[in-house]
Amino acid sequence: MKHIVIIGGGIAGIETASALTDAGHWVTVIEKDAQVGGKLNNWSYLFPDFTPAENLAGSLVQKCSEKDFSVLHQTEVHSIQRQNGKFNITTSDEHQLEADAVVVATGYDLFDARRKEEYGYKIYDHVITSADLEQLLLPGGDLTVAAGKNPKRIAFVHCVGSRDEKTGNHYCSKVCCITGVKQAIELKKRLPEAEIYCFYMDLRMYGKHFEELYREAQEKYDIQFIRGRLSEASEKIDKSLLIKSEDTLSGRPLKMNVDLLVLLVGMEAGKGTANAAATCGIGCEESGFLKTTDSFLKSNFSEQEGIFLAGSCTAPMTINDTILHARSAAMEVDCWLKKQ
Amino acid sequence: MDFPPSFILPFTIGLLFISVFLVIIIGIWISGLSRIDKSRIIHNIFTRKSLLAIRETFMESLLHRKIFRKNPVLGYMHMSLAFGWFLLIVVGHIDAVNHYQTFSVPAYKAIFMRYFVTETATTISGKILAASMDLLLLFVLSGVMLAYFKRLNSRIFGMRKTTKLKMGDRIALSALWLIFPLRFMAESVSAGIHHNGSIISQPTGQLLASTLPVQLLEMPLWWAYSGALGMFFLALPVSRYMHIPVEVVMIFLRKYGIRVQKRIDGYSRIQVYSCSRCGICLDSCQMTHAAIKDTQSVYVLKHIRNKNLTDEKLFNCLLCGRCQPDCPVGLELNNLRMTQRIESTKEYNSSYEYLKNGPIVVSPQTEVIYFAGCMTHLTPAIIKSMKEIFAVAGVKFWFMDEEKTACCGRPLMQVGQYEAAKKLIEHNRERILASGAKKLVVSCPICYKVFNEDYALPGITVQHHSEYLLQLMADKRLPVNKMPLRVVYHDPCELGRGSGIYHQPRLLLDEYAEVIPIKNEKEAAYCCGGSLANIKIQMNERNQIRDNAMEEYLGYQPDVLATACPLCKKTFAKSRNLPVHDIAEIVYMAIRQKNAERSGKTKTMKELKIELWGS
């Protein structure tokens, strides 16, 4: 029986583990947190159909308990050595594992919005990120702003830390446009009186049902989309925010007072992925995401033979894309092991 | 009447030509000065300033003291050539006066004295002078030897780069290199023929006489020597050696208080021609960190002279001014570039006619006008810190650009849009004066420089917040709390080299944290790479410049990189390796920590750090 070690117990890691177990392999998942699911555990409802995130997280947990693979919780990889065609892996708690193949599924980090200081995240009281908002959107989440009032006017800023030369991230994070649309609708449902504005560069509604949801946001929920990037925000005495932008469709500078500002933060390769790249000796792209040997036919192959890649450690991905990429990783690992 | 030998012709023609040329060209330049500058010359010419100019000419143009300090070998090379040649001329004339016993010795008789004097010096003074001349020539020759080596390998001189030559320079350089060896050969051969000479020329002459047909060689050698001199004088106007005479004029005018203005005039031309193209400015230019190697001051001045400066080169400069302190001639390199930028963008100036000031209502108790600046609006942590500090110190302030204000004008000026900037300046000036407050505190060094230099604000003190906070602290209006933080302070270009404020930020920081002295600080401080003055540079090139500076700072293992400019903060914060904070944030943090201690909720340094800027 071949042993496969998977680094990361998020969606990609668990999905790969599940598929490889089904194919008859012995699988161990190394997860740094106490629970599996990764960032999925931070979301409330998923785009584009508002499926509760806990449903999907629950099915991941179920797979862990039903299928015969083991998960080492609160564990990280310390080092990986290659010896006689096998990988000798030392974990942070000094465990030794021997593997025939390794799958890196370390995922992504969210862009730290403090790096876009002009938007005032952690400086102004009512500037939050899309990740913060997810928590507030759960039943019982407190959406009130200053003096316990509901926000009357809310603005979303797209592309915070994505497609932005100044933050050094040139790529598109793919999920934020539709996340913004989803969250705007959810807010409107909760706060029907509120005016909601989305400031975007362009909207990338490429996925199934995305465009429909965007249309619904405009027609049914009266959410205003303004093409223009926010230049800066400042806090007034009443803790409301004065934002400056340009409406590039009408070609005019624009100023607006809002009660809540939501920053749609993008994805970055993150520390886990950088560590995995270092311990596995595999290359990164300029963006920091892991390099695949071929963008069409070998999107699960790293530069090192026997080390495979799954999910958003290779590029920003939606949950759907991640699941598909993880399953394809399992298939590639299985084929490769059979050839050994 | 004896006609002088024909070989003196090349020298004489050259000398006449260059004398007439210099009188005309310098006359044109001086007549192109403004009336004020001309009256500066008239008022100062017969004062102590002329003596000081003579002293500076001696120290810098002859002894090259500044180059000496920076690089002794290079300094020796320049000194031996300049001072040595100068002494050869002076002592040569004294020798000639002593020999002919008359003061009216024509130049050629002194320069070619060893040709004319066939007897051995008999008087003691004659012997001493002859020996001195031999030694001086040896001194100059040692410099020429070094110059040969420098051309072959500039690294021997500790210079990483040296400038490239053009045709006129080549001719002048070849002539200059030939003058002294030819003089030595000609004098030695004559000494060999006449059995005279002094400590060096005599033995060399005897050696040559015993091995070569010296009688045949004498005339051609003196011709060649005179020819080299003549050639040097003829090529001088089209070569970089024009700096030799022009620099002297420049030193006098500078001592009289004349400076480069915001336009091309006689003095800016004199400065351009005073550049010796030594290339020392290349070494301090950070653009080379981004592999940009053809836009430095020396090249821009060269292109101005040759009238082939492109906007690509003119605007690809951070205007950080790091080359200026190193310039041995002390040229106003930034201002000279600015004159060209103003010229180049003259037709694009916007009118800004839509700017209208409404009524300005400011409370009469207002102590301070606070102008954050556009860049500071992109770093709201600085504004927040300043507001809190104003509150702690109980300062009543008017936040002039809280919502809607025109730009200070400095970024426009940096790209040459001087006329457009003047409109913004006038608009803001009206508001400042109408407020009635007597102090203007600015958070951005870019704004600070323009408020300080180009706004006429009688009775109003302009201070950067680092100066202002230092004063508040000295007046005991701010609590002091030294935190166990190791801080590297990055001098912003516009505040440091641009406005001469080096000490105030350090004195202030010293009360709140531990400032680590570093190698490249104050005048030698790095630019962060974010400068608004460069409109040609690519983002990745900016990043290379920033990373290079960051690498040095990280070497000191500080807890925080402190600066006093929002643009520097933003530029460095992007590299993510080190927390970067403005001096105002650090002061605010220290005060908060002290207040926490007082209320019994003492926080550890680590907690404070996490709270203020994350782990």
SS (H, E, C) A84-150: CCEEEEEECCCCEEEECEEEECCCCEECCHHHCHHHCECCECCEEEHHHHHHHHCCCCCCCCHHHCC
A&B contacts, CB < 8 Å: 40
- State which residue of chain A sits closest to B381, comparing Cα positions: A123
Instruction: Supply the CATH classification number for the domain A3-108+269-339.
Output: 3.50.50.60
Contact between B251 and B53 under an 8 Å Cβ cutoff? The reply is yes
Q: Within a 10 A sphere around the Cβ of B604, how many other Cβ atoms?
A: 9
CB contact under 8 A, A232 and B402: no
**Lowest-confidence segment of A215-224, A294-303, B248-257, B356-365 by average pLDDT:** B356-365
CA distance B378 to chain A (A): 4
CB-CB contact of A151 with A238 (8 Å): no
pLDDT at B157 over 70: no
Q: How many C-beta neighbours within 10 Å does residue A304 have?
A: 17
- A109 reaches B (C-beta below 8 A): no
CA nearest to B350, candidates B434, B259, B427, B250:
B427
Average pLDDT, integer, range B357-376: 89
Q: What is the mean pLDDT of residues A120-133?
A: 95
The domain A113-266 having CATH identifier 3.50.50.60: the answer here is yes
pLDDT tens, position by position, A219-243: 999 999 999 999 999 999 999 999 9
CA of B356 vs chain A CAs: smallest distance (Å): 17
pLDDT at B613 over 60: no
Question: Does B356 score more than 90 pLDDT?
Answer: no
Residue B597: the pLDDT is: 77
| Torsion (CA) A97, A98, A101, A104 in degrees, nearest 10 | 20
Report pLDDT for B155.
62
Q: Exposed (0-12), middle (13-18) or buried (19+): which is B26, by Cβ within 10 Å?
A: middle
Percent of chain B with pLDDT over 90: 74
Beta carbons of B543 and A168 less than 8 Å apart: yes
Does the distance separating the beta carbons of A165 and B539 come in below 8 Å?
Answer: yes
Q: Taking CB atoms and an 8 Å cutoff, what residues of chain B touch A112?
A: 614
pLDDT of residue A272: 92
pLDDT of A265 strictly over 60: yes
Position A262 pLDDT exceeds 50: yes
**pLDDT tier at B204, thresholds 50, 70, 90:** very high
- Which of the pair, B448 or B209, is modelled with greater confidence? B448
Mean pLDDT, to the nearest integer, of A136-150?
Answer: 90
Question: Quick one: pLDDT at residue B603?
Answer: 56
B576:A115 CB<8 A: yes
| Alpha-carbon gap: B25 to the closest alpha carbon of chain A (Å) | 50
Q: Does B612 touch chain A (CB under 8 A)?
A: no
Per-residue pLDDT tens over the stretch B299-308: 999 999 999 9
**Angstrom distances, CA of residue A185 to CA of A140, A150, A188, A226:** 17, 16, 5, 16
d(CA A251, CA B414): 27
Mean pLDDT (whole number) for A251-280: 94
- Encode pLDDT of B549-561 as tens digits: 999 999 999 999 9
Which chain A positions have a beta carbon within 8 Å of B614's beta carbon? 112, 114, 122
Q: Write down the ipTM of this complex.
A: 0.86
Same fold, A3-108+269-339 and A113-266: yes
- Output the pLDDT for position B449: 97
User: B408 in helix, strand or coil?
Assistant: coil
Residues B528-545, mean pLDDT to the nearest whole number: 95
Q: Do A235 and B380 touch (CB under 8 A)?
A: yes
| End-to-end Cα separation, chain B, in angstroms | 95
Q: What value does the mean pLDDT take over residues A34-47? A: 96
Q: Is B614 in Cβ contact with A118 (below 8 Å)?
A: no
Confidence of residue B154 (pLDDT cuts 50, 70, 90): low
Confidence tier at B195 by pLDDT (50, 70, 90): confident
Q: Please give the torsion angle defined by the CA atoms of residues B582, B585, B589 and B591, in that order, rounded to the nearest 10 degrees.
A: 110
Interface test with A, best of B376, B379, B532, B543 (most A CBs within 10 A): B379
Report the alpha-carbon distance of residue B72 to residue B380 in Å, rounded.
Answer: 48
Higher-confidence position of B385 and B197: B385
Q: Does A3 touch chain B (CB under 8 A)?
A: no
Residue B615, pLDDT score: 31
Closest-approach residue (CA) in chain A for B402: A234
Residues of A with CB below 8 A from B574's CB? 115, 166-168
Question: CA of B388, closest CA in chain A: separation in Å?
Answer: 13
Does B384 reach chain A within 8 Å, measured CB to CB? yes
- What is the per-residue pLDDT for B614? 41
Percent of chain B residues topping a pLDDT of 70? 95
> Which chain B residues contact residue A165 at CB under 8 A?
539
Residues in chain B closer than 8 A to A123 (CB atoms):
380-381, 384
pLDDT for B291 equals 93
Q: Are A133 and A196 in contact (CB under 8 A)?
A: no
Does residue B381 sit at the A interface (CB-CB below 8 Å)? yes
Strands (E), B486-558: 486-490, 514-515
Is pTM, for the whole model, over 0.95? Answer: no
The confidence band for B431, taking pLDDT boundaries of 50, 70 and 90, is: very high
Per-residue pLDDT, averaged over B522-528, amounts to 96
pLDDT at B160 over 80: no
Which pLDDT band holds residue B166 (cuts at 50, 70, 90)? confident
Residue-range domain boundaries for chain A? 3-108+269-339, 113-266
Q: From the list A114, A123, A167, which residue is nearest B614 (CB)?
A: A114
Residue A234 at interface with chain B, using a CB cutoff of 8 Å:
yes
Least confident of A196-210, B464-478, B565-579: B565-579
Say if residues A172 and A162 touch (Cβ distance below 8 Å).
yes
- Of B165, B538, B566, B525, nearest to B315 by C-alpha is B538
Considering only B148-152, B287-291, B342-346, B428-432, which range has the smallest mean pLDDT? B148-152
CB contact (8 A) between residue B383 and residue A234: yes
